[in-house]
Structure 1
Amino acid sequence: MKTLLVVHHSPSPATHELLDAVLAGARDPEIEGVDVRVVPALAATVPDVLGADGYLFGTPANFGYMSGALKYFFDTTYYQVLGAVVSRPYGLWVHGNNDTTGAVKSIQGIVTGLGLSAVSKPVEVSGRVDKLVRESCYELGATVAFNTGATTLSY
């Protein structure tokens, strides 16, 4: 069984709604062979990262950057996992009231340094969460779960 690690900071109702949609997609009953582990950014550790086969990262955009919690996660794990996670798949979702560009760019710089492989475009959400946004997050979760090493997918 492969492991998909979901590291997130979801303090607001909107970011939590995105997390729920991503998890629903990652746990789609048609996707088998992938265990989805959900760990808040402030609790995620080096063993969590090394024990995973794929990653989903979620954050609000705070002052044009990722949340401090997700930044803390990357700060405390980066050098210990550098070189050990190359080519593993990842996906990203970011919610901002106005702009998500800086948050997305900063995370993409970090995961590029780690050598992770994007298997989907980031889901960038400004403003309220609607049906289309929830569907995009569901698709993100399912895509990353499948690319993490699903044994079956019968859509």
Structure 2
Amino acid sequence: MSKNLLIVAHAPSGNTERMVASLLEGARSAGAQQVIARKQAALQTTIQDVLCADGIILFTPENLGYMSGALKDFFDRVYYPVLEQKQGLPCAVVIRAGHDGTGTQRAIDSILTGLRWRQVQEAMVCRGVWQDGFLQQCHELGQAFAAGLEEGIF
């Protein structure tokens, strides 16, 4: 039986879009035959998308020391409709932070605690000026998440 990996992202720049594409490419290259990975813009992600997900990766840039408005909107729309049905949902967080990302991470951690989603690793915070290494980090996270989902590790 296949499993669905949903990447919910707000990627307003070329570099953030490259990071999200790398997450997806990594997930699809994991050799996981039973994992269907897809990305969805945060503003277009529906309650049904979340209900169908077996795992989720959340991506946001840091905006004024907080998550993007688009990711906050996503949480506002899906929080209560999925709260009871998706407890324990394995998830991972990627933050592209021009500064330190701590405010963004703290806000997302708080929401995920309320949803009772299970972070499979500490948030990946890509800090400071752009580095091409961010793409490799995203690729590896996507790959590991898909493999872990397929193997039932999470």
- TM-score, normalized by length of structure 2? 0.91
Measured in 1, the distance between the counterparts of 2:30 and 2:122 equals: 23
Name stretches of at least 5 consecutive residues in structure 2 with no aligned partner. Answer: none
Asked if 1:60 corresponds to 2:74, the answer is: no
Runs of 4+ that moved beyond 4 A? none
Measured in 2, the distance between the counterparts of 1:141 and 1:29 equals: 8
Greater strand percent: which structure? Answer: 1
Give, as a single letter, the amino acid of the residue that structure 2 aligns with 1:2: K
Name stretches of at least 5 consecutive residues in structure 1 with no aligned partner. Answer: none
1:123 CA drift (Å) = 1.3
Measured in 2, the distance between the counterparts of 1:20 and 1:104 equals: 21
1:137 CA drift (Å) = 1.1
In the alignment, what sits opposite 2:138?
137
1:133 CA drift (Å) = 2.1
Question: Would you say how many aligned residue pairs link Structure 1 and Structure 2?
Answer: 151
1:17 CA drift (Å) = 1.9
In the alignment, what sits opposite 1:149?
150
In the alignment, what sits opposite 1:27?
28
- Whether the 8 Å CA contact 1:120–1:143 is kept in 2: the answer is no
For residues 49-75 of structure 1, the C-alpha deviation after alignment (integer angstroms, 9 at most, x for no partner) is 001100000000000000000000000
In the alignment, what sits opposite 2:4?
3
Q: CA RMSD in A?
A: 1.5
* Amino-acid identity (%): 38
